[in-house]
Amino acid sequence: MKFPNIERITMDPNIMGGKPCIRGMRVMVGTIVGLLASGASFQEILEMYPYLEEEDIRAALAYATWRAEEYDLVLEAS
């Protein structure tokens, strides 16, 4: 699987507390994915956030998918 434009997702501790955002803006990946999950269309999201591009939405979905497949491995000190 190739993730489209995942470099559009940025994490900066000075922006939204370091949460994954779209291109350094104050629009979090979780916000976009949440809107999609609640039934918003790409077009509706682009109208709400006119400075976003369709590829930003696709990148947010790709990032969320990638993160959902990760898991934490607890390491014990020896």
Is 48 contained in some domain?
Answer: yes
Is 74 contained in some domain?
Answer: no
**Residue 64 structural domain:** 6-68
When pLDDT is averaged across residues 42-53 and rounded to a whole number, the result is 98
2-23, pLDDT tens digit by residue? 666 788 999 999 999 999 999 9
The single-letter DSSP state of residue 66 is H
Q: What is the CATH number of the domain that holds 38?
A: 1.10.10.10
Is 76 contained in some domain?
Answer: no
Is 55 contained in some domain?
Answer: yes
pLDDT at 1: 55
Three-state DSSP at 19 gives coil
Is 28 contained in some domain?
Answer: yes
Phi first, then psi, for residue 28 (nearest 5°) are -85, 150
Is 60 contained in some domain?
Answer: yes
Number of domains in the chain: 1
Phi first, then psi, for residue 9 (nearest 5°) are -90, 125
19: its two tokens: 């949460």
Q: What percent of the chain clears pLDDT 90, i.e. is strictly above it?
A: 73
Longest Cα pair distance anywhere in the chain, in angstroms? 54
pLDDT at 2: 61
53-64, pLDDT tens digit by residue? 999 999 999 999
pLDDT at 13: 96
Cβ atoms of 64 and 33 within 8 Å: the answer is yes
